[in-house]
Amino acid sequence: MIYLDNHATTPVHPEVVEAMLPFFGTQFHNPSSGYRAGKSVKKAITEARGQIAELIGAKEEEIVFTGCGTESNNMVLKSLARIYGRKQSRVVTSEIEHSAVLRPCEAMEAVGFEVARCGVDAGGRLRLEEFRDLCAGAKGFASVMWANNETGVVQPIREACEIAKEAGYAFHSDAIQAVGKVAVNVRDVPVDFLSISGHKFHAPKGIGALYLREGVRFEPLIRGGGQENGRRSGTENVPYIVGFGKAAELMKRDHAAVAELRDHLEARLVSEIEGVTLNGSREHRVPTIAHVSFDRCEGAGLLILLDEMGVQVSTGSACMTGKQQPSHVQKAMGLSDAHAKSSLRISLSMLTTKEEVDQAADAVVKAVTKLRGVQGSGGVGPVMVYS
């Protein structure tokens, strides 16, 4: 099988597995224990915390380990909801957020919070002037993703953060699809909160982190034994934390080679298939994703055919797989229902090879041809690119 659905999850890197193994065996001890073995495990957690902090330019004490990115998002939003209250605050977010932000915002709205959702342009980037208007005239907090999980489009996060701070807003960014793929530095972009998920960059599923800027007010979602300096109680998932730290260390590598493979894949699809649309900004995007639509094809049908050919891709967010409605992200970009339903999200990782990309491109050409009921390539027609 050729795996090209790395925005859904990534395979655990062999070096990450190797780093984790001792903590399933001889180093099994509770890190809160007072004896030497427990302290040794505690030291491993501290080292991993430093590796995560280094990846995003944070201090060690600003990193809180969580169970996943969804938990990190919920921890922030529910903390801010309690701090600000619903009577005199506004929540500003975007129309293209992941459901781990959209659903908490809907829950806040249901109990009386004012929630304002900013639109995006045809390239999938936040409309900054609209965002500025939404932040004006009220106090509250804002949440804008760093990079979109479906299209890979990187948002103007520095500008959005500056606008929010000028308006007196606390600012959170869901950076789950950005960290480990593009440069994310919380000293350069002074977000108050940042969510990270390990399984998006070769750590195992079930481990995440939350960046809390030093000095910001925070109300814990999970209270108990006081782990993570009281910010997220519960006995630490030591093997996964260690693996998370190792993955963060690996992600400091340059991703230019992955971008070259992505560009090669897109070039082949555009040149060999008629009626191809490349969705989202060409300039502002992570290096790991190609979001492509095919005229006269259903994305769901292509996914099935490609799976039969041994190529694994997706039609969008893994959390939305099986749902029949068009992607809310593509609808926000102004794309038609038919266009949105004809899309594939093809996502690569540092483990993807050129041979796999070429084999996948061959399979896509065959699948599109079969689904359209046309023998041969049919020639190359006009190509649309949204930028």
Cβ neighbours around 60 below 10 Å, total: 14
Give phi and psi for 287, each to the nearest 5: -80, 0
With CA atoms as reference, report the closest residue to 339 among 375, 297, 282, 289: 297
Check the CA dihedral 41-44-48-50 and report its sign. positive
Q: Can 319 be counted among the known catalytic residues?
A: yes
CA distance 200 to 357: 20
In one-letter notation, the amino acid at residue 164 is A
CA distance 55 to 73: 19
In one-letter notation, the amino acid at residue 7 is H
Choose, from 105, 135, 161, 319, the residue flagged as catalytic.
Answer: 319
Where are the extended beta strands (E) located within 191-319? 193-197, 208-212, 276-278, 289-294, 311-312
CA distance 319 to 198: 17
CA distance 379 to 364: 15
Give phi and psi for 183, each to the nearest 5: -65, 125
Q: Active-site residues: which are they?
A: 319
